[in-house]
A and B are shown apart, each in its own frame.
Chain A
Amino acid sequence: MRSGTIRPIALASVAVLAAGVVLAGCGKADTGGGSSSSGGGSGELTLWTHNAGNKEELAVVNQIVADYNAQGKTKIKVQAFPQASYNDAVVAAATAKKLPCILDTDAPTVPSWALAGYLSELNLPQDLVAKQLPSTLGKYQEKLYSIGYYDAALAIFTRKSALQSVGARIPTIAQPWTATEFDEVLAKLKAAGKYQYAFDLGTGDTGTEWWTYAYSPFLQSFGGDLINRADYKSAEGALNGDKAKAWAAWFQGLITKGYAPKKSGADAFADFLNGKSAMVWSGIWSTANLSKLGDDGIFLPPPDFGAGPKIGGGSWQWAISSSCGQKDAALDYLKFSLDSKYLAMFSTKQNVVPATEEAAALTPGWKQGEPKRFFLEESQKFAMIRPPTPGYPYLTTTFAKATQDIVAGGDANQILDRAVKDIDSNYKSNNYYQ
């Protein structure tokens, strides 16, 4: 009897000890990461980046850090995360007050991180900032919190032969299609019947952000928006005014008239290359695959629906955390990294729009008159950043859902009114995110 009770006790204590060791281990690992990230005596700064899954982009980041470390000033240490878990890691680190000194952030999340006090204002020299594309600057309430090496850009990809076969004019940045012209092109392409779809919108992507990034520029070109940008307090009129309703009717019409598929294939661009659609709405990342069509493959600016052609702006950008103990050193690194040489490396290896003219001059294919120049001009003239408000996560999910419902064939006006009501009550409940 006695030995029978002692053994369970021994086992239980072993189990408790083991659990304790595991928990203590977790705690220890945390503090270890924290001490190295806050810098301290060693003078080492930690840098967090989202691009662990993107070898080429990470290679450029590593290259910059290696060059900087070779100067013998402060030492930078790179920690790369997979993109899917990056934001969670930052939020968790911020909660535990263990943010690294330097971190990258997706442009639309900058305001909410700035409001939450994760980020510190960047006091970069004015001449350095002025050179940058406006959409590579992460601002919140007139203060600069993040700065990017590049941007992405959207375009209509098509075959020259498809447009010529229906006698359509090839639009340019200086002279984009008007709404009527675009509608005629769609109708003619549909009537010609060579392609199953005249214009594939890429609706196969169920991720929220694509819906906002890709389709809100059409809304903005009509003259609507996700929220009134005067005070960022209400969507009334912006998302359910006449202009927004005209956008919704047009967008739904693309599907009901059979110009665009209700649900695109998993890879809309591959469908386009295979001749399923005559035009496809995609981004600069597709230029590599477009070369398969040779001279026939071209990219065009979006049509002007009244308020000028629009594309989405803002990609990954760099920021300094507010808890950073060596902000000057971190800022020094950022300045160093914004050298044209490095920006050009990103745009060469990554198919992205270089953030400055100087960098474009150093990148093959981006000089005045060369084909990719188109995207830089688009970014300069048409790019509209997604609303810089801490309520953006709510705006984007609401807009994406509304657009999905419009595509699914719901009553468009009712859907927009509902979305506005949701956004307004959410902003009110959150004290307008102030």
Chain B
Amino acid sequence: MSVTTPRQTRTTASVAAARGPSLKKTERREALAGALMVAPSVLLLIVFFFIPVGLAFLLAFTNARLISPSISFTGLDNFTRLFQDPLFWKSLRNTLYFAVVVVPLQSAFALLLALLVNEKIRGTNFFRIMYFVPVVTSIVVVSILWQFMYQPDGLVNNVLQSLSFNVLQGTDWLNNPAAAMPAIIVMSIWQAVGFHMIIWLSGLQTISPDLYEAADLDGASRWEQFRYVTWPGLRNTRTFILVTITIAALSLFAQINIMTKGGPLDATTTVVFQAFRVGYQQQQTAYASAISLVFFVLVLAVSLVQRYLTREKD
């Protein structure tokens, strides 16, 4: 995308230059039309995104509350308190734990599913739809359903018992500090894996069948085909998936808010959940803004590092 746009403008410009000054007017009209067309969305973006973000950055350095008679600048007070707040560090650890487990697991699992549903056999469409259904289901609905399944006498424990002939006795998944986060990880992967499967699939389908044919003729095994044809062919898809899963994982919130509220014993509190709780329930707008600002810097840093590591090295 970022490669094609400048090239297109360059062509239009050179064409206009070649035809001389008589067409300058048309060009200006086009520019005007373009400006008018982006105007509505830019307006909405400014009002509902840039202004709130700007405000959040400012508020992080004040003592504003949701309902406060006056606001004054307090410098770095919010940040000093934040960095001394054990709950913040716990939230950060939980968030990173979630991301470190989910990013590789979910992308690998999605790739596996994509490879499976990319086979040219009957019924792949059925499986594609099955894997994609959780994605189009609201995360709120999914969370509530899994909450029932994770109950002590819920579906998960019943299945465990019957599959293991009563050897495995499950736990009260969401109320056990050791089990709550893994439970949420499993559920989150199940819910989102279909989306990344589709992305991988689109990547797989851009690889020319000729390459596989040639590899076949050269006597390459299935593994060698994957290693030397498929994997290099998925380069751009890989970067895209890595960045999107990482950002999605870092902003874990809905599942937590519905299923555990950060508990038990802070085992599942995350940075975004903490910001939400501080901002809306405790009405500490400024402190919540400070958390958001730190979170923004964190996500930006992670994305930049990823961009750097996956850059085109030519």
Q: Which residues of A contact B (CB under 8 A)?
A: 1-2, 5, 8-9, 11-13, 15-16, 19, 91, 94, 112-113, 115-118, 206, 208, 262-263, 393-394, 397-398, 404-405, 408-410, 418, 422, 425-426, 429-431
Set of chain B residues within 8 Å of A409, measured between Cβ atoms: 264-265
Residue in contact with B63 in the complex, picked from A12, A206, A408, A429, CB distance below 8 Å? A429
Set of chain B residues within 8 Å of A11, measured between Cβ atoms: 37
Beyond A94-B67, A398-B282, A430-B65, list 9 extra A-B contacts (CB 8 Å): A5-B26, A11-B37, A15-B39, A112-B67, A117-B69, A393-B66, A394-B282, A422-B85, A430-B68
Annotate B257-289 by CB proximity to A: 1 below 8 A, 0 otherwise. 000010111100000000001000111100100
Interfacial residues of chain B within 52-69, with CB under 8 A of chain A in the complex:
63, 65-69
Any chain A CB within 8 A of the CB of B86?
yes
- Contact at B26–A1, with CB atoms within 8 Å? yes
Set of chain A residues within 8 Å of B265, measured between Cβ atoms: 405, 408-410
Interfacial residues of chain B within 66-93, with CB under 8 A of chain A in the complex:
66-69, 74, 77-78, 81, 85-86
Set of chain A residues within 8 Å of B303, measured between Cβ atoms: none
Give the 6 A-B residue pairs with the shortest CB-CB distance, closest first: A12-B36, A408-B264, A8-B33, A393-B283, A116-B67, A12-B37
Set of chain A residues within 8 Å of B30, measured between Cβ atoms: 5
Chain A: which residue is nearest B262 at the CB level? A401
Set of chain A residues within 8 Å of B177, measured between Cβ atoms: 408
Least distance between B81 CB and chain A CB atoms (Å): 6
A416, B13: Cα distance in complex, Å: 69
Set of chain A residues within 8 Å of B85, measured between Cβ atoms: 422
- Contact at A12–B33, with CB atoms within 8 Å? yes
Set of chain B residues within 8 Å of A15, measured between Cβ atoms: 36-37, 39-40
A208, B278: Cα distance in complex, Å: 13
- Contact at B39–A12, with CB atoms within 8 Å? yes
Least distance between A213 CB and chain B CB atoms (Å): 15
Set of chain B residues within 8 Å of A262, measured between Cβ atoms: 172, 175
Least distance between A11 CB and chain B CB atoms (Å): 8
Least distance between A426 CB and chain B CB atoms (Å): 7
A13, B37: Cα distance in complex, Å: 8
Q: A5-B30, A405-B263, A410-B265 known; A397 and B282 CB under 8 Å? A: yes
User: What are 15 of the A-B contact pairs (CB < 8 Å)?
Assistant: A1-B26, A5-B30, A9-B29, A9-B36, A12-B33, A19-B40, A112-B283, A116-B68, A393-B283, A394-B283, A404-B263, A405-B264, A408-B265, A429-B63, A429-B81
Q: A5-B26, A393-B281 known; A16 and B40 CB under 8 Å? A: yes
A307, B261: Cα distance in complex, Å: 33
A71, B222: Cα distance in complex, Å: 90
Any chain A CB within 8 A of the CB of B32?
yes
Set of chain B residues within 8 Å of A12, measured between Cβ atoms: 33, 36-37, 39-40
Least distance between B45 CB and chain A CB atoms (Å): 12
- Contact at A408–B263, with CB atoms within 8 Å? yes
- Contact at B32–A9, with CB atoms within 8 Å? yes
Set of chain A residues within 8 Å of B263, measured between Cβ atoms: 404-405, 408
- Contact at A426–B284, with CB atoms within 8 Å? yes
- Contact at A5–B33, with CB atoms within 8 Å? yes
Least distance between A122 CB and chain B CB atoms (Å): 20
Any chain A CB within 8 A of the CB of B101?
no
Any chain A CB within 8 A of the CB of B130?
no
A295, B43: Cα distance in complex, Å: 67
A254, B149: Cα distance in complex, Å: 27
Set of chain B residues within 8 Å of A118, measured between Cβ atoms: 67
Chain A: which residue is nearest B44 at the CB level? A19
- Contact at B284–A394, with CB atoms within 8 Å? yes
Least distance between B94 CB and chain A CB atoms (Å): 15
A425, B78: Cα distance in complex, Å: 11
Set of chain A residues within 8 Å of B284, measured between Cβ atoms: 394, 426
Chain B: which residue is nearest A431 at the CB level? B63
Chain B: which residue is nearest A12 at the CB level? B36
Residue in contact with A91 in the complex, picked from B32, B67, B264, B266, CB distance below 8 Å? B67
Least distance between B34 CB and chain A CB atoms (Å): 8
A310, B36: Cα distance in complex, Å: 66
Q: A19-B40, A393-B283 known; A116 and B74 CB under 8 Å? A: no
- Contact at A430–B67, with CB atoms within 8 Å? no
Least distance between A257 CB and chain B CB atoms (Å): 18
Least distance between B213 CB and chain A CB atoms (Å): 43
A8, B33: Cα distance in complex, Å: 6
A418, B90: Cα distance in complex, Å: 14
- Contact at B43–A263, with CB atoms within 8 Å? no
Least distance between B41 CB and chain A CB atoms (Å): 9
Chain B: which residue is nearest A2 at the CB level? B26
Set of chain A residues within 8 Å of B44, measured between Cβ atoms: 19
Residue in contact with A13 in the complex, picked from B36, B175, B277, CB distance below 8 Å? B36
Set of chain A residues within 8 Å of B77, measured between Cβ atoms: 429
Chain A: which residue is nearest B152 at the CB level? A263
Set of chain B residues within 8 Å of A94, measured between Cβ atoms: 67
Set of chain A residues within 8 Å of B26, measured between Cβ atoms: 1-2, 5
Least distance between B11 CB and chain A CB atoms (Å): 16
Least distance between A372 CB and chain B CB atoms (Å): 34
Set of chain B residues within 8 Å of A425, measured between Cβ atoms: 81
A94, B281: Cα distance in complex, Å: 19
Set of chain B residues within 8 Å of A1, measured between Cβ atoms: 26
A408, B263: Cα distance in complex, Å: 8
- Contact at B175–A263, with CB atoms within 8 Å? yes
Least distance between A197 CB and chain B CB atoms (Å): 15
A115, B74: Cα distance in complex, Å: 20
Least distance between B26 CB and chain A CB atoms (Å): 6
Q: A116-B69, A408-B265, A429-B81 known; A208 and B86 CB under 8 Å? A: no
Set of chain B residues within 8 Å of A117, measured between Cβ atoms: 69
Least distance between B49 CB and chain A CB atoms (Å): 16
A396, B29: Cα distance in complex, Å: 60
Least distance between B263 CB and chain A CB atoms (Å): 6
A254, B33: Cα distance in complex, Å: 71
- Contact at A19–B29, with CB atoms within 8 Å? no
Least distance between A9 CB and chain B CB atoms (Å): 5
A275, B33: Cα distance in complex, Å: 73
- Contact at B74–A397, with CB atoms within 8 Å? no
- Contact at B283–A8, with CB atoms within 8 Å? no
Chain B: which residue is nearest A112 at the CB level? B67
Q: A393-B281, A393-B282, A397-B282 known; A9 and B33 CB under 8 Å? A: yes
A430, B64: Cα distance in complex, Å: 9
Interface-central residue, B263, B282, B287, by most chain A CB under 10 Å = B282
Set of chain B residues within 8 Å of A9, measured between Cβ atoms: 29, 32-33, 36
Interface-central residue, B39, B74, B86, B283, by most chain A CB under 10 Å = B283
A263, B260: Cα distance in complex, Å: 12
Least distance between A90 CB and chain B CB atoms (Å): 9
Least distance between B180 CB and chain A CB atoms (Å): 10
